[in-house]
Amino acid sequence: MSHRPTAFLGLGAIGAPMAARLAGVGGLVVWNRTRARAEQFAKAHGARLAATPRDAAAAADVVITCLPTSREVEAILDGPDGLLAGLTRGALLLDCTSGDPATSRRIAARLAERGIAFADAPVSGGTNGAEAGTLTIMVGADDETFARSRPLLEHMGSRVEHVGPVGAGHALKAVNNALLAVNILAVGEGLAGLVKAGVPARTALAVLNVSSGRSFVSETLVPERVLTGAWPRTFRLALLDKDVRIACDLLREVGVDGPLLDRSGELLSEARATLGESADYLEAIRLIESRAGVELRG
Ligand code: NDP
């Protein structure tokens, strides 16, 4: 077992708190497209700053990526400053992006030709879970790569599950988030209807949450973020939209009809087009509110 540092690329809303969990563990090298973010992180957490993805990869045995989609992960592999120019035989690329299975299989095949291991390891639990190190991490990899990845992932997650071969982690994460999206839309629509029918949202939730219609959305997200009017920005709606699309593509690929997920994807894409790329995922409920002419806050 070597003691070379771990490299972390992508210090976004979830990447930064995940990387922070690794800062105390051993050496950490960070890279971020917007350099100022990486500088700030390096200063705050005592990490080393890499000038390029290549330099980050050259310094480490394990490289972790956490970018918006698999497209960006595939794109930073190539070029003179890309990951492939720095990764050495025997290294491991752990992709914590909520990506897509097909691209990950393609990336894994390219890396395997060079003797580099790959695992998709997307996470669930939000930015709070990342800060606390209590994420659920869904790993797609062969047995050996999973065994090698696990100790590192356990610094970021309390539940690290091997769910299948490369791509399986991304598939499961996409379906998880599609279920989250369906719940958000359904709770938003149902509550808007109830408020218009004269039942205050807070009363409705108090009852729903001790009844069979309850969910994480009704028990936690809506009370903490919508009823309070806090609307924190923790996870971009654009990213949830991407996740639902991945889930819909997966169902199509395996020949399963998914009208409910397809419709949820359409609604989220509409919300994304209306609210923009930096809107938070729960703001999909804002659109339901404004169309219904009600506010759930209160
Ligand atoms: P953000 O949009 O907050 O951050 C994205 C990160 O990717 C930033 O570091 C950004 O750099 C970098 N980036 C964007 N485009 C490129 C590019 N072309 N080349 C290199 N780097 C790039 O996203 P999150 O951190 O929220 O999400 C990251 C992944 O984690 C996504 O797949 C998301 O679906 C998933 N996820 C997010 C959760 C959350 O609660 N936020 C929860 C679970 C999963 P820059 O600073 O330059 O913009």
* pLDDT, tens digit, 9 for 90 and up, residues 219-233: 999 999 999 999 999
> How far is the centre of ligand 1, averaged over its atoms, from the C-alpha of 192 (Å)?
31
Instruction: Please answer whether residues 73 and 107 qualify as being in contact, where contact means their C-beta atoms are separated by less than 8 angstroms.
Output: yes
Q: Is 173 a catalytic residue?
A: yes
* Phi, psi (deg, nearest 5) at residue 93: -105, 120
Rg from Cα positions in the chain: 20
CA of 175 to the centre of ligand 1 (A): 19
> Ligand 1: residues whose CB is within 6 Å?
10-15, 32-34, 37, 66-68, 72, 76, 97-98, 123-124, 126-127, 234-236, 239
The secondary structure of residue 34, as a DSSP letter, is S
Determine the pLDDT at residue 2.
Answer: 53
Would you say 174 and 258 are in contact if contact means Cβ atoms under 8 Å apart? no
Q: Of 43, 173, 196, 242, which residue is the catalytic one?
A: 173
Low-confidence ranges of the chain (pLDDT < 70): 1-2
Assigned CATH topology for domain 171-292: N-(1-d-carboxylethyl)-l-norvaline Dehydrogenase; domain 2 (1.10.1040)
Q: In 32-82, where do the E strands start and end?
A: 48-49, 62-65
In CATH, 6-165 is 3.40.50.720: yes
Taking CA atoms only, the protein residue closest to ligand 1 atom 42 is 126
Domain with CATH 3.40.50.720 in the chain: 6-165
Predicted pLDDT of residue 1: 46
CATH 1.10.1040.10-classified regions of the chain? 171-292
Atom of ligand 1 nearest to the CA of 243: 34
d(C-alpha 244, C-alpha 262), whole Å: 8
Which residues neighbour 86 within 8 Å (Cβ) at sequence distance 6 or greater?
52, 53, 54, 55, 56, 57, 58, 59
* Distance from residue 68's CA to the centre of ligand 1 (Å): 4
Q: Can you give the pLDDT at residue 32?
A: 98
Tell me if residue 47 falls in helix, strand or coil: coil
Block residue for tokens 């930073």: 76
* Atom 30 of ligand 1, residue of closest alpha carbon: 97
Task: Please tell me the distance between residue 179's alpha carbon and the centre of ligand 1 in angstroms.
Answer: 21
